[in-house]
Structure 1
Amino acid sequence: MALRLLLLFIVLPIVELMLLIKVGGLIGFLPTIALVIVTAFVGSQLVRRQGLTVLQRIRESQARGETPALPLLDGAALLFAGFMLLTPGFISDAFGFVLLIPGLREKIARRLLSKVVIMQAAPGAGARYAGRGEARSKPSSVIEGDYQRKDGPSDSADDSNDRIGRDDGA
């Protein structure tokens, strides 16, 4: 995990900067800046359009009484794509534009959803847990048993007064 964070926050920006410098040397400073601005603008418009579609899918899911898990993950992927597209750099733009492909985004969302345990409400049975295609019952929080009070004011031989919670007449 630490290696991934190192790559994300240190190595990736350095590579992005090197690529921007290299492209700036090939096509010039102003065209490079213009290219970064155009990709950010086009990407933000695409994210906005697709985001409205995803929002509509979330509302339709809720209207049908379904959990909108897949559309919500789709929206999260779009949010990440928007972040990547607004970040200056060509590698982040490439990742952002890849996440704008609806079929690929849905495939990623389904894969993530299959690895997550989802809590579902079952009618009449309380909460149930489902994960990887199967439903499991929630364990009961009631523990049945008998007990005997040891610290009482009297130490009588008749322990029937000390038992609590028994229905067997003892």
Structure 2
Amino acid sequence: MWLFALFVAVPIIEIALFIQVGGLIGLWPTLLIVIVTAILGTALVRQQGALAMSQLRQSFSELNDPSEPLAHGAMILFSGALLLTPGFFTDAMGFLLLVPAFRMFVLKELRKRVKVQSFTMGQENMRQSADPFRGTPRDPHIIDGEWEEVDQNKPNQGPSGWTRH
């Protein structure tokens, strides 16, 4: 129900703001502001997105919980969509989501409402040189593989694909 209310309220707010700002400064300056905020927003989203991607890569390489960098990346992506949507209200929300302190506040509020039942890192056992698929320690000098015994007395069935004739 709240999503429906949002889809109704946001366009009404945007129309009201366009009428107010357009009446105050005129049509062309209003359109210019909308275009400039889209261009500026795109540049800021690229910069913040690159920073979020580097933080995500760092959390993966250090085998840390990636949920915070992923949440920041999702909010930056959402802010980009808001900034590309013409309107003053959506631009304000988009620019707010580009501020790291505001994203941390939103993330903190989301964590209050969302409870994670369990969380495990898939590669956690790799720190102890364990096999990630079996969870058992492995010898670094052993290479797993498949083999098939070949009967030397059987006649050759033709090229195996590994040899040239």
User: For 1:134-161, what per-residue CA distance to the aligned partner results, in whole angstroms no more than 9, with x for missing partners?
Assistant: xxxxxxxxxxxxxxxxxxxxxxxxxxxx
Question: Normalising by the residue count of structure 2, what TM-score does the alignment of the two structures yield?
Answer: 0.68
Q: How many residues were matched structurally?
A: 122
RMSD of the alignment, in Å? 1.8
User: For 1:15-61, what per-residue CA distance to the aligned partner results, in whole angstroms no more than 9, with x for missing partners?
Assistant: 20121022111111111000001011111111110100000000000
Q: Using the TM superposition, give the Cα deviation of residue 11 of structure 1 relative to its aligned residue in structure 2, in angstroms.
A: 2.1
Instruction: Describe how 1:19-58 pairs up with structure 2 within 5 A.
Output: 19-58=17-56
The one of 13, 16, 29 equivalent to 2:14 is 16
Question: Normalising by the residue count of structure 1, what TM-score does the alignment of the two structures yield?
Answer: 0.66
CA distance in 1, matches of 2:111, 2:49: 19
Unaligned 5+ segments in structure 2 are: 126-165
Q: Is the 8 A contact 1:51 1:78 kept in 2?
A: yes
What corresponds to 1:65 in structure 2?
63
Q: Using the TM superposition, give the Cα deviation of residue 118 of structure 1 relative to its aligned residue in structure 2, in angstroms.
A: 5.2
User: For 1:95-142, what per-residue CA distance to the aligned partner results, in whole angstroms no more than 9, with x for missing partners?
Assistant: 111111111212322332452315323768xxxxxxxxxxxxxxxxxx
User: For 1:66-94, what per-residue CA distance to the aligned partner results, in whole angstroms no more than 9, with x for missing partners?
Assistant: 12100000001111111111111111111
Moved over 4 A (4+): none
Please tell me the residue identity of whatever aligns with 2:115: V
The one of 5, 8, 15 equivalent to 1:7 is 5
What corresponds to 1:117 in structure 2?
116
Unaligned 5+ segments in structure 1 are: 125-170
Structure (1 or 2) with the greater helix fraction: 2
CA distance in 1, matches of 2:115, 2:74: 15
CA distance in 2, matches of 1:121, 1:9: 37
Q: Identity across aligned pairs (percent)?
A: 43
Tell which deviates more after alignment, 73-82 or 16-25. Answer: 16-25
Structure (1 or 2) with the greater strand fraction: 1
Q: Is the 8 A contact 1:70 1:110 kept in 2?
A: no
| SS in structure 2 at match of 1:120 | coil
Larger radius of gyration between Structure 1 and Structure 2: 1
Is the alpha carbon distance of 1:43 and 1:55 closer, same or farther for their aligned partners in structure 2, counting shifts above 3 Å? same
Please tell me the residue identity of whatever aligns with 2:119: Q
